[in-house]
Amino acid sequence: MGFSEKSADFVESRRSPKSYGDIFFHWLTVFLLVFFAVVMVTPFIWLLSSSLKTQINIFQYPPQLIPDPFVPENYVYALTYKPFGIYFRNTVLVAGLNVVAVVFTSSFCAYGFARMRFPGRDFWFGIVMATLFLPYAVLLVPSFIVFSRLGWVDTFLPLVVPPFFGGGAFNIFLMRQFFRTIPEEIADAARIDGCSEFGVYWRVMLPLSKPALITIGIFTFLFAWNDLIGPITYLRSPDNFTIAVGLASFRSQTDISWDLQLAASTAVTLPVIVLFFFAQRYFIQGVVMTGLKG
């Protein structure tokens, strides 16, 4: 990206800049945007470049940007060594169910905490927060025993059922905060029109919270996509493995096949990047548009 005169239309302003201050501010923003983009993209470039190198060239010093030799076969070998097709299907199933569960049940619970007044609400919200305080490490084995007794080990159930129960404290808290930024008048107007509380939640609050819902959807998907501890603890048969387990299988106790590991890491990251690229469009269609109609 150059900074020639042509790139002036890079900045798409609603009005033409009025003062020197505005012009300065525009170019400062462009500069910072590009500067931090370089900082943020460097690791991914490194990942991409390393994934196309031989094992021995990955840690060469000074580092090579363009791999020589260029080894696209890493991808072929990495993605056929384990049945990534099956892993992909499993992961999409688990992540998809998690997203559905979290988006609906956490917003549902959050509506109660944010918008209803009833005795015990603050006590229960305290409990919501409290579930964040105990580390995962100490709950892991007792939970494993519970799921073993239920006969759920080596099924997806331990990974997909719990999210349907409120979707986790993080998401409830996040949705609660977002709901509380929406003016009460909008909800009251709907109530006067005869909406029930469920109607206010479903027809008013959810549409107004698209950016927040997209946010928790992305987080949930990403977490389920990259989670290793859950699948490794609960899944046994190779046919049930998820992508994260497949990725980890390139490491042994003593040796790591870096070339394959990085090729596989890059490959499984791409779908998420594409997903995010498209999902982020919804960040401009929240209250900005619909809210003012209300």
Partner 1 sequence: MSISRREFLKLTGGSATAAAMLAQLGYLPPALAQDVTNITFGGWGGVAEDEGVKAAIEVFEAENEDIDVEWLHTPSAGDYGRVLLSSIAAGTAPDTGFILSDNYETLAVGGALMDITDLVKNDPLLGQPGYFLEPQEANRCEVNGRWYGIGSTWVAHHFYYNAEMFEAEGITPPGFQDDEIWEWDEFLEVCRAFTKDSAGRHPGDAGFDSDDIVQWGVDWPFWWMPLGLAAHANGGEFLTEDGLIGLDSPEAMEGLQRITDLVHEHHVAPRGAALASLGMNNTQMVDSGRLAMAVDGSWALSWMNPSLMSVAMGTGALPKMQKPASIMQAHFHSVLAGTEHPEEAWRWVRFLATPFYQEHFCKIGLWIPNQQAMLTEEGLKGWIREGIHPPNYSQFATDYLPKHGVAVAIPPGYIEAANDYINPAFEGLANGERAEDIMPDAVRAANEVLTAAKEDM
Partner 2 sequence: MSLATEPKAAEQGFWLIRQYNRLTLRQRRTLMGYVFIAPFILGFLFWWLGPAAVAGYLTFHKWNFLAAPKFVGMAHFSKMVGDPILAQSLKVTIVFSAISVPLSLVFAFFLANLINAKFRFIAVFRTIYFLPSIVPAVANAILWAWLFNTEFGLINFVIRFFGGPKIGWLQDPSWVMLAFVILTVWGVGGSMIIFLAGLQGIPQIFYEAAEIDGAGRWQRLLYVTLPMMSPIIFFNLVIGFINSFQVFVSALLITNGGPQRATLFLVLHIWRTAFSSQKMGYASVLSWLLFLILMVLSFIVFRYIGSRVYYENPDD
Tokens describing residue 84: 């990534």
- Please count the other Cβ atoms lying within 10 Å of the Cβ belonging to residue 167: 27
Residue 257 contact among partner 1, partner 2, none, beta carbon within 5 to 8 Å by kind: partner 1
Tell me how far CA of residue 139 lies from CA of 26, 27, 136, in angstroms: 50, 51, 5
User: Interacting stretch for partner 2, rule CB under 8 A, among 71-79, 90-98, 131-139, 230-238?
Assistant: 131-139
CA-closest candidate to residue 137, choices 50, 229, 260, 243 = 229
Q: Which of 90, 91, 105, 257 binds partner 2 (CB under 8 A)?
A: 105
Binding residues for partner 2, rule CB under 8 A, total 109
CA distance 90 to 94: 6
User: What residue ranges bind partner 1 (CB under 8 A)?
Assistant: 55-61, 81, 140-141, 144-145, 148-149, 153-156, 228-229, 232-233, 236-240, 245, 248-258, 260
Per-residue contact track with partner 2, 145 to 184, x per CB under 8 A? xx---------------x-xxxx--x-xxx--xx-xxxxx
Q: How far apart are CA 155 and CA 236, in angstroms?
A: 8
Nearer to partner 1, 61 or 278 (CB): 61
What distance in Å separates the CA atoms of residue 74 and residue 27, rounded to the nearest whole number?
Answer: 42
Shortest distance (Å) from residue 68 CB to partner 2: 18
The answer to whether residue 48 forms part of the interface with partner 2 (CB under 8 A) is no
70 interacts with, out of partner 1, partner 2, none, CB within 5 to 8 A per kind: none
Residue of 23, 37, 70, 238 that binds partner 2 (CB under 8 A): 37
Task: Please state, in angstroms and as integers, the Cα–Cα distance from residue 28 to each residue in 8, 21, 34, 35, following that order.
Answer: 13, 10, 10, 10
